Amino acid sequence: MMHRFLLLSLVLLNSVVFAAGPDPAMLAKEQVLHRGNGAEVQTLDPHRSEGVPSANILRDLYEGLTLEAPDGRIVPGTASSWEISEDGRRYTFHIRPEARWSNGDPVTAHDFVYGLRRSVAPETGSKYSQILAPILNAEAVIGGRKPLDTLGVEALDNHTLQITLKAPTPYFLGLLTHSSAYPVHRTSVEKHGDRFSRPGKLVSNGAYRLQEWVIQSHVELVRNPYYWDDADTRIDIVYYYPIEDQSTELKRYRAGEIDITEAIPLQQFRWIRRNLAGELKVSPYLGTYYYGYNLTRPPFRNNPKLRRALSLAINREILVEKITGMGEKPLYSWVPEGIAGYQPARLDYADWPQKKRIAEARRLYAEAGYSRANPLTVEIRYNTSENHKKVAIAIAAMWKQALGVKVRLVNEEWKVFLENRKRKQVTQVFRAGWIGDYNAPYTFMEILKSNHGLNDSAYANPEYDALLADAAVETDAEKRFALLKQAEAIALRDHPVIPLYGYVSKHLVKPWVGNFTPNILDHHYTKNLYILKH
């Protein structure tokens, strides 16, 4: 265990280095970073991946036209600059002449055209393709109604890319940091097909390249010497470890095997706050933790009374105070707080006392045909995690106490869990979370659209879809937010999901990790970090 004085000295040193930039004399000789990363990733294909674990790695491997500064600001990425037309619909990006793929090939505007077209192509099967809906004709291409070459992207020359939108989209530059907007190396994709994203085959344009991927052990990335900003990159090697058990991750952190944890075990949070306060990073996080209903099957199909009853019976205040206890906020909206200018709609019972909620839940439960003599039997399905299990146990207890519901908990490994959610054959109630891909309410609203690839509840309301379509082309911010709030109120009324609480990001970070800066999207590019002497 490191001496307390040395820990304090490193914390102070870290703050000094961050303020002035990394002094080479203060840097460790070996610049190797070890990061916990939650579940095993499904794929490192940027247009087919989903989930936070893969996104963390892809931000190191690839780079979009824009990227994020440590504090979350949008800054130039592979595009050094851009111009926006007066009507806000045409963006002209200038690709850095020095930008290179990890094999030394130049990165061109044509690579972005190819990547964006691949991302929306129906045969790619991207679950995130709808994120590119602001681009002209993107939705028609995704739906198979128009050919790929009608997508509003064009390479004017090798270093000039023009993107035309269907309507002004104020958050478009932020959207371009998402993996769905990354370019891919066309020659590699065409040569290796679905295996282009494996070690020895993956050619990427970010600060790092893929060195090794050992399933259930680690993903190793090494610096890409051809990266345009390699001179300002400090970390030489970064290891990502798939550790689903938070207690195991904490043990490895305390043993010095991990420098940054992906999560923190709920049951040990108080001990951590007492003993590792200087290394604990808890910050606001633009995310919604929720439960989804499968609306394609009984008992929740065409049964809004039952869905509402179960939501009413959950005491969200108890959940965040006694179960999670890390500063999460009870959530009575679909969009969490933290988006400038947007005031989310709220469930109509948000301000009711819990006694009144329980009474209404019992009434609706009875009207739906259930009682203590004839109880609902239901499954809560969640992916492997101590924290998810504790939440599921608490909610099962609340449902049993208030209504007499019989709950069976089903725990699944991440890939199996995601596949079952998509198939909608066995799921009833399932754990889910949505982290904003960019700082705008639309990033939350769009996944409840009837045709969205990640709408695992199968929610479909034409009125909701129409309001989102109107909001997508509304140029006045106040009017756009009003349309989105109206749509949010409809979704809350229909109860396709149960919002539970707003996330906070929570990590343990060793004091020798420099420039770890909390931000509302919890994105931390390895290229911005460095290791101090210790």
Q: Where are the beta strands (DSSP E) in 267-306?
A: 280-293
In 3-state terms, what secondary structure has residue 453? Answer: coil
pLDDT at 13 (0 to 100)? 37
Is 101 within the bounds of a domain?
yes
Range 9-24 average pLDDT = 49
- Same domain, yes or no: 425 and 293: yes
The answer on pLDDT for 204 being more than 50 is: yes
On whether the CB atoms of residues 222 and 209 are closer than 8 A, the answer is: yes
pLDDT at 473 (0 to 100)? 86
On whether the CB atoms of residues 213 and 224 are closer than 8 A, the answer is: no
pLDDT band at residue 338, thresholds of 50, 70 and 90?
Answer: confident
For the chain, the residue count is: 534
* C-alpha dihedral (89, 439, 185, 143), degrees to nearest 10: -60
pLDDT at 228 (0 to 100)? 98
Look up the CATH number of the domain holding residue 327. 3.10.105.10
- Same domain, yes or no: 324 and 472: yes
Range 223-244 average pLDDT = 97
pLDDT at 461 (0 to 100)? 98
CA separation for the pair 491, 486 (Å, rounded): 9
Look up the CATH number of the domain holding residue 184. 3.40.190.10
pTM, two decimal places: 0.87
pLDDT 10s digits, 363-400: 999 999 999 999 999 999 999 999 999 999 999 999 99
Is 355 within the bounds of a domain?
yes
Counting DSSP H helices and E strands in the chain, the numbers are: 16, 18
- Same domain, yes or no: 319 and 463: yes
Is 262 within the bounds of a domain?
no
Task: Give the closest residue to 9 by CA, choosing from 509, 512, 507.
Answer: 512
pLDDT at 340 (0 to 100)? 84
Is 268 within the bounds of a domain?
no
- Structural domain total, the chain: 2
CA separation for the pair 510, 517 (Å, rounded): 13
Q: Give every CB contact of residue 261 below 8 A, 6+ residues apart in sequence.
A: 36, 246, 249, 250, 253, 507, 508, 509
- Same domain, yes or no: 322 and 413: yes
pLDDT at 8 (0 to 100)? 34
236 burial level (CB within 10 Å; 0-12, 13-18, 19+): middle
On whether the CB atoms of residues 223 and 469 are closer than 8 A, the answer is: no
pLDDT at 518 (0 to 100)? 93
On whether the CB atoms of residues 338 and 375 are closer than 8 A, the answer is: no
The answer on pLDDT for 10 being more than 80 is: no
- Same domain, yes or no: 436 and 517: no
- Same domain, yes or no: 233 and 330: no
- Same domain, yes or no: 78 and 161: yes
pLDDT > 90 in the chain, percent:
90
- Same domain, yes or no: 80 and 128: yes
Q: Give every CB contact of residue 517 below 8 A, 6+ residues apart in sequence.
A: 18, 70, 71, 524, 528
pLDDT at 16 (0 to 100)? 36
pLDDT 10s digits, 99-110: 999 999 999 999
- Average model confidence (pLDDT) for the chain? 94
pLDDT at 438 (0 to 100)? 87
On whether the CB atoms of residues 309 and 364 are closer than 8 A, the answer is: yes
Sheet holding 329-330, edge to edge: 329-330, 497-508, 280-293, 429-435, 377-383, 406-412
Is 264 within the bounds of a domain?
no
- Same domain, yes or no: 98 and 223: yes
> Which residues form the domain of 415?
283-505
Q: Give every CB contact of residue 341 below 8 A, 6+ residues apart in sequence.
A: 477, 478, 481
CA separation for the pair 38, 28 (Å, rounded): 27
pLDDT at 18 (0 to 100)? 38
Is 260 within the bounds of a domain?
no
**What single letter denotes the amino acid at residue 479?**
K
Radius of gyration for the alpha carbons in the chain, expressed in angstroms and rounded: 24
pLDDT at 21 (0 to 100)? 67
Is 270 within the bounds of a domain?
no
pLDDT band at residue 490, thresholds of 50, 70 and 90?
Answer: very high
Range 142-152 average pLDDT = 97
CA separation for the pair 310, 53 (Å, rounded): 30
Range 339-363 average pLDDT = 96
Identify the residue whose tokens are 């504790």: 390
Q: Where are the beta strands (DSSP E) in 345-405?
A: 377-383
- Same domain, yes or no: 76 and 22: yes
CA separation for the pair 353, 245 (Å, rounded): 36
- Same domain, yes or no: 306 and 199: no
Is 374 within the bounds of a domain?
yes
- In sequence order, the β-bridge partners of residue 347 are none
Task: Tell me which of 24-28, 333-337, 358-362, 471-475 is least confident.
Answer: 471-475
- Same domain, yes or no: 420 and 468: yes
The answer on pLDDT for 6 being more than 70 is: no
